[in-house]
Each structure stands twice: as structure tokens, then as C-alpha cells.
């Protein structure tokens, strides 16, 4: 079995630096055999990939790419907490918040940007429980936010 970061590299992706929190919290906390991440925004190079509401200024494919970036940022937070992503036994729970217009109902498809990445990187251990929730607004006018619970 290859290392999770090798699988990411095969996809043309890499674990980024841990995003600096935008308020008074830490990116991840370990409690026993689980790591809980804070909500991760689609930050690249210290900037949001895009801002606005899905179904409005942000199209669903852009939002899906944002969900994938949030997932990468969440993996960065997990890695910073445990040191090596090969220690991940299972992605247990994924929560995806989608800032969307009132008539947009494609939150599950947006969330697939994160879920499919976890499956590609961790195989069966990446299969998880999930919530995809439409909300009126997210921090910094982000279109997507993702948080994880990971077993290590």
C-alpha cells in the first residue's frame, strides 16, 4: 500500500501548510484515538479561492473544487497534529457547510469534492459518514467549509 501523500501526488495534489486560524481556535485537537479538525476554508496561499454563494456568484463546480481544497487543508491540520498521514486509520465523519442561495439544493454534490478525495487517498478507510448543510453565510464570505473527525 502506498503512503497517502504519494496517492495525493499521483492526483497532482499535495498537503499544504496548515492554514492560520482566522480567530481564537486551533486547527485540530486530538482526543484519544480521534482527531477533530476545526472548520477549514478553501484557502490557497493565504487567500480564499473564491467568495460568494453557491448558486449565485459561485457555480457548483467551483464550489466542488473549494470543497476539495478544504479537505486538503483539513488533512494538513490532521498531519500537523499526528505527524504522518499514514497513521490515519479511518476518516470517520465529514461535515461540509455550503453557503448557498435559498434555491440551491446541490449541497451533496458540492460535498463530493471532499468525500471523493478522501476515498482516493485512503481507499476503504476514506469511506465516511457525512453531513452536507446549506447555510446563509460562512466566515470571510467563503462558499464552503469542511471539518473532519479522523480515527488514528
42-98: pLDDT as tens digits: 999 999 999 999 999 999 999 999 999 999 999 999 999 999 999 999 999 999 999
| pLDDT tens-digit readout, 90-126 | 999 999 999 999 999 999 999 999 999 999 999 999 9
- How would residue 1 be classed by pLDDT, with cut points 50, 70 and 90? low
38 DSSP β-pair partners:
none
Supply the CATH classification number for the domain 4-19+28-151. 3.30.1330.40
What are the two backbone dihedrals, phi and then psi, of residue 103, each rounded to the nearest 5 degrees?
-95, -5
Estimate the crossing angle of helix 60-82 against helix 107-122, to 10 degrees: 40
Amino acid at each position: 500500500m502506498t503512503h497517502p501523500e504519494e496517492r495525493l501526488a499521483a492526483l497532482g495534489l499535495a498537503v499544504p501548510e496548515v492554514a492560520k486560524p482566522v480567530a481564537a481556535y486551533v486547527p485540530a485537537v486530538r482526543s484519544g484515538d480521534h482527531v477533530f479538525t476545526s472548520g477549514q476554508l478553501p484557502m490557497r496561499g493565504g487567500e480564499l479561492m473564491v467568495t460568494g454563494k453557491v448558486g449565485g456568484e459561485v457555480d457548483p463546480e467551483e464550489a466542488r473544487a473549494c470543497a476539495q481544497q478544504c479537505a486538503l487543508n483539513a488533512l494538513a491540520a490532521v498531519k500537523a497534529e499526528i505527524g504522518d498521514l499514514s497513521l490515519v486509520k479511518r476518516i470517520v465523519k465529514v461535515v461540509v457547510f455550503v453557503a448557498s442561495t435559498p434555491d440551491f439544493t446541490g449541497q451533496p454534490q458540492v460535498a463530493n469534492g471532499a468525500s471523493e478525495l478522501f476515498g482516493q487517498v485512503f481507499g476503504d478507510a476514506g469511506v465516511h459518514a457525512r453531513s452536507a448543510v446549506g447555510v446563509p453565510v460562512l466566515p470571510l464570505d467563503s462558499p464552503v467549509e469542511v471539518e473532519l473527525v479522523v480515527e488514528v
